[in-house]
Chain A
Amino acid sequence: MKRVFPILAVLTAGLLSYGLYAALVLAPTEQTMGNVQRIFYYHVPSAWTAFCLFFINLVASIVYLVRRNSHADALALASAEVGVVFCSVVLVTGPIWARPVWGIWWTWDLRLTLTLVLWLIYVSYLMLRRFSSSGQTPVMAAVLAILGALDVPLVYFSIWFFRTQHPQPVIGGGGSIDPRMLHVLLWNWLAFMCLGALVCWSRFHLEMLTRQVEETQALESMLTAGGTR
């Protein structure tokens, strides 16, 4: 941990700087949208990273319910927190782009609504963790994460029924994209994934340390109580 962490941090910083340079300078300017389109190199990688983190949260929650392993629970907590941050970035950058291009800040479109609902579910997940009394928190949170995952396909189909306005997915969606843009996009995604992994890792480590401290304190107070008697 101690040796790998700085290396990963430096690597992430390098990737992020290259990503910024590539997005602002290397990538060609889009014909119709102009420079506004460059927000795409932050919007899309954040979205993919957020979805990856939410997926990790789901897997960790299932593992926790089966194995009752406290590492899995800490990982679920860390990935949900970092995922909510990335998802917030998506929800903020989206309207900034949509206003000049679509002429509106927000619309109830498939991908927008799905992202918003996912964000709401995970904020309620974090609220539950915060309000819950300590002993049962992991179980309740894991159950909520699984029910939230059940909700996603239902949201998807309910919004899918409306006509969708969001640009079709550029990868695997039949849309065409300049290979240079794709290159910049994928580098930025790598940088964001590294950043997500880095923050998630340190949050996980912090959570494990906090738990150790709490356990030690509980043990200590138990021992002093036993000593005075």
Chain B
Amino acid sequence: MTFFSVMRATLGKDLRIEWRSKDAMNAMLFFALLVVVIFSFSFDPTAEESRRIAGGLVWVAFLFAAVVALNQTWARELRNQVLDAYRVSPAPANALFLAKVFGNFLFVALLEALMTPLFVVFYNLRAVGPVFQLPLVALFGTWAIVVNGTFFAAMSLRTRSREIMLPLLLFPITIPALLGMVEATSAILTGEFSARFWIVLLAVYDVVFTTGCALFFETVLHGE
């Protein structure tokens, strides 16, 4: 089994399970919808205000919703001792990790694609700055959430009450990335300043943490 065949098999399996059950997707979508609605009527902003705060609201909603999906990624592997079987097999650990990251990335990206129109509707959003930068921010930002989230979800598998543990580990480390996403999005929506620095920061964050997580995943998977 080569690296890529393991990766393809794991990713295919995850996508197939999700396609049939739609557990993670439904939970995430409904959760994000609730966050949008609750934020919308608790702030009730004007168009000018909402352009300033939307960056923060959007990414906080996506981060919270992503945690819902991330909590389920590894729980699935615990049933029937799949993870233990993986541990004793000679398959490369990082193939499993990257497959999980890509799977989660697809789920969260799909969520964002579906939720963004809703945000536009509820907050009367219209970007003043360069819109073509937004997909780039979404790409790097989502990757940052997902790569760390998948890693820390694997880490919190060994803890008591793991569902609570994931956000406790993920949020402090994600602060610079979250700041980057929020600032870049606000910059693009208001058009008041350039988003370039924040996009570069996000890219650097992604490179650093993808490398770091890939380096340590095997240690975390094997534990002792």
Residues of A bordering B, CB below 8 Å: 65, 117, 120-121, 123-124, 127-128, 131-133, 135-136, 139-140, 143-144, 146-148, 150-151, 154-155, 157-159, 161
Stretch at the interface among B96-104, B135-143, B169-177: B169-177
**In the complex, B21 has a CB within 8 A of chain A:** no
> How near does chain A come to B48, taking the closest CB pair, in angstroms?
22
Q: A128-B159, A132-B158, A154-B205 are in contact. Are A140 and B176 (CB under 8 A)?
A: no
- Which A residues touch B198, using CB under 8 A? 158, 161
Instruction: Given contact pairs A121-B173, A140-B158, enumerate 11 new A-B contacts (beta carbons under 8 Å).
Output: A124-B171, A131-B159, A132-B159, A133-B159, A135-B223, A143-B216, A143-B219, A147-B173, A147-B213, A157-B176, A161-B198
- Which A residues touch B86, using CB under 8 A? none
Choose from B165, B172, B213 the contact partner of A117 (Cβ within 8 Å).
B172
CA distance A161 to B158 in the complex (A): 38
Q: Is the interface of B mostly helix, strand, loop or mixed?
A: helix
Q: A136-B158, A136-B223, A140-B158 are in contact. Are A146 and B169 (CB under 8 A)?
A: no
Q: Is the CB of B209 within 8 A of A150?
A: yes
Q: Which residue of B lies closest to A65 (CB)?
A: B219
> How near does chain B come to A149, taking the closest CB pair, in angstroms?
10
Residues of B bordering A, CB below 8 Å: 155-156, 158-161, 165, 168-169, 171-173, 175-177, 179-180, 197-198, 201, 204-205, 208-209, 212-213, 216, 219-220, 223-224
Choose from B173, B197, B220 the contact partner of A140 (Cβ within 8 Å).
B220
Q: Which residue of A lies closest to B177 (CB)?
A: A154
CA distance A209 to B6 in the complex (A): 45
Choose from B177, B180, B201, B209 the contact partner of A147 (Cβ within 8 Å).
B209
Interface centre among A127, A135, A136 (most CB of B within 10 A): A136
Q: Is the CB of B224 within 8 A of A135?
A: yes
- Which B residues touch A161, using CB under 8 A? 197-198, 201
CA distance A146 to B217 in the complex (A): 13
CA distance A144 to B216 in the complex (A): 10
**CB pairs A–B below 8 angstroms (10 shown):** A121-B172, A124-B168, A124-B173, A131-B160, A132-B160, A151-B175, A154-B201, A154-B208, A157-B201, A158-B179
Q: Is the interface of A mostly helix, strand, loop or mixed?
A: helix
- Which B residues touch A133, using CB under 8 A? 158-160
Choose from B165, B171, B204, B223 the contact partner of A131 (Cβ within 8 Å).
B165
CA distance A150 to B171 in the complex (A): 15
> How near does chain A come to B45, taking the closest CB pair, in angstroms?
21
Q: Is the CB of B165 within 8 A of A120?
A: no
Q: Is the CB of A143 within 8 A of B208?
A: no
Choose from A117, A135, A136, A150 the contact partner of B175 (Cβ within 8 Å).
A117
Q: A136-B224, A154-B201, A154-B208 are in contact. Are A131 and B176 (CB under 8 A)?
A: no
- Which A residues touch B201, using CB under 8 A? 154, 157-158, 161
Interface centre among A65, A127, A140, A144 (most CB of B within 10 A): A140
Q: Is the CB of A154 within 8 A of B224?
A: no
Q: Is the CB of B212 within 8 A of A147?
A: yes
Q: Which residue of A lies closest to B167 (CB)?
A: A124
Q: Is the CB of B155 within 8 A of A144?
A: yes
> How near does chain B come to A124, taking the closest CB pair, in angstroms?
5
- Which A residues touch B175, using CB under 8 A? 117, 120, 151, 155
- Which B residues touch A121, using CB under 8 A? 172-173
Q: Is the CB of B173 within 8 A of A151?
A: yes
CA distance A136 to B219 in the complex (A): 10
CA distance A120 to B180 in the complex (A): 18
- Which B residues touch A154, using CB under 8 A? 176-177, 201, 204-205, 208
CA distance A140 to B221 in the complex (A): 10
Q: Which residue of B lies closest to A108 (CB)?
A: B179
> How near does chain B come to A163, taking the closest CB pair, in angstroms?
13
CA distance A135 to B223 in the complex (A): 8
CA distance A148 to B159 in the complex (A): 19
- Which B residues touch A123, using CB under 8 A? 172
Choose from A120, A143, A150, A159 the contact partner of B155 (Cβ within 8 Å).
A143
Q: Is the CB of B220 within 8 A of A143?
A: yes
